[in-house]
């Protein structure tokens, strides 16, 4: 009898730049002390719920790899791990590394809010106004110099999810993805069939596990927040 597939989504622990209130998206910052502690608690949650991943996917940024390493150390199991830049956080272009308060002063609170929440808004400005992507832009290059909308993130993440990650369900029934806020929002939007407006309200706290059971066609059966 075919088992249901188990998928665990997890945001990395708090990083040094998170604590400094800076836009850290593709900046390769380490976990801070709180982020390390959060990673241990994630490992404990996995044990408590008997959810031991067969494969862990991370981005290529240190904060996800460190979170994964701590979890594996806590579980005392060398879980097969695959890292890809495609799971990197949304790229924020000219806002990368900026203090978020200073960015609001420079570009305006409404502009920054729109960039952070709207699915089609890019972190780029023309005549002091944000720019909307045209629904055709795709980021297939880690060396990109433009910023991404949530829609652009989905266009690089979802093909990887369906063509690479879910192929591992053939051999494994539990897969864990440790990534970043906007990547996980993309996956949750897809799995839960949320629309563009609902995307704005998806929250991804650090230290929280999103657990899904999927059928053989990858349709959602059960969701739990742990």
Positions marked catalytic: 12, 89
How far, in Å, CA of 195 to CA of 176, rounded? 24
Which positions ≥6 away from 164 have C-beta within 8 Å?
84
How far, in Å, CA of 226 to CA of 224, rounded? 6
Q: If DSSP codes are grouped into helix, strand and coil, which group holds residue 159? A: helix
DSSP symbols for 83-127: E-GGGSPPP-GGGTT-BHHHHHHHH-HHHHHHHHH-TTEEEEEET
Q: Where are the alpha helices (DSSP H) in the chain?
A: 16-19, 33-48, 62-75, 100-107, 109-117, 150-160, 181-191, 196-199
Task: Write down the residue that tokens 């991943």 correspond to.
Answer: 53
In degrees and rounded to multiples of 5, residue 121 shows phi and psi of -90, 130
DSSP 167: G
């Amino acid at each position: 009898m075919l088992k249901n597939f188990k998928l665990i989504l997890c945001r990395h622990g708090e990083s040094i730049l998170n604590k400094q209130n800076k836009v850290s998206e593709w900046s390769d910052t380490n976990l801070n002390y709180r982020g390390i502690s959060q990673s241990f608690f994630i490992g404990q949650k996995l044990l408590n719920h008997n959810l031991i991943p067969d494969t862990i996917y991370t981005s290529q940024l240190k904060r996800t790899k460190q979170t994964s390493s701590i979890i594996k150390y806590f579980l005392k199991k060398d879980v097969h791990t695959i890292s890809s830049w495609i799971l990197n956080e949304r790229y924020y272009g000219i806002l990368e590394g900026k203090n978020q308060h200073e960015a609001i002063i420079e570009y305006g609170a409404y502009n920054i809010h729109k960039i952070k929440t709207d699915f089609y808004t890019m972190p780029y400005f023309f005549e002091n106004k944000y720019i909307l992507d045209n629904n055709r832009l795709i980021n297939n290059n880690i060396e990109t110099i433009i910023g991404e909308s949530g829609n652009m993130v989905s266009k690089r993440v979802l093909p990887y999810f369906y063509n690479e990650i879910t192929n591992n369900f053939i051999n494994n029934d539990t897969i864990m993805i440790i990534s970043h806020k906007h990547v996980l929002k993309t996956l949750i939007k897809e799995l839960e069939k949320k629309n563009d407006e609902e995307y704005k309200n998806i929250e991804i706290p650090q230290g929280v596990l999103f657990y899904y059971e999927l059928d053989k066609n990858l349709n959602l059966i059960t969701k739990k927040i742990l």
